[in-house]
Amino acid sequence: MPDKQQTLVLLKPDALQRDLLGEIIRRFEMKGLKIVGLKFIRLTDEMLDEHYSHLTSKSFFASLKQFMMQTPVVGMVLEGYDAVSEIRKVVGSTNPREADAGTIRADFSMNMPSNLIHASDSPESAAVEIKRFFKDGELFTYEKITDRYIFGEGV
């Protein structure tokens, strides 16, 4: 049985400005990823220092943080089998020009840091990032009538 996981996604300010929120969420839904958390988040400098701590030494760090604070971001927690790696597949490589055609970053973006989406890169960082942005009461588990078709349960 594959591993049912939850992962953290942020839709970045370029997704909001370019009216791509719906298109991106639609692609996650089409893949069969279940939305278990969804809200606007106004990121702060402190939150970004923590979230992008692996990039503090990079020359683009300050401008990346500035970019991420331009508008609220949409935070999502998505659930599915191997959700962490499956979402990264749908999202595509960090540099949109190196991303495979058909991925969201390749299809809708050109450059960094404006590559539309953050998605956790491992189950361990997903657990930390979900806790960073969502309280327990903001996550919802529920049955969908399509679960058995998407997840293969009881078929």
Q: Report the residue number, 62 or 149, with the smaller CB distance to ligand IDP.
A: 62
60 binds, among ligand IDP, Mg ion, none (CB under 5 to 8 A by kind): ligand IDP
Kindly state the smallest distance separating residue 101's Cβ from Mg ion, in Å. Answer: 22
Alpha-carbon gap, residue 117 to 74, rounded angstroms: 10
118 catalytic per annotation: yes
Q: Which of 53, 148, 63, 46 is nearest to 112 (CA)?
A: 63
The tokens for 21 are 């929120």
Q: Report the residue number, 60 or 149, with the smaller CB distance to ligand IDP.
A: 60
Exposed e or buried b per residue across 135-144, where buried means at least 16 C-beta atoms within 10 angstroms of its C-beta? eeeeeeeeee
Active-site residue set: 118
- Chain positions contacting ligand IDP, by CB under 6 A: 55, 60, 64, 94, 112-113, 115, 118, 121
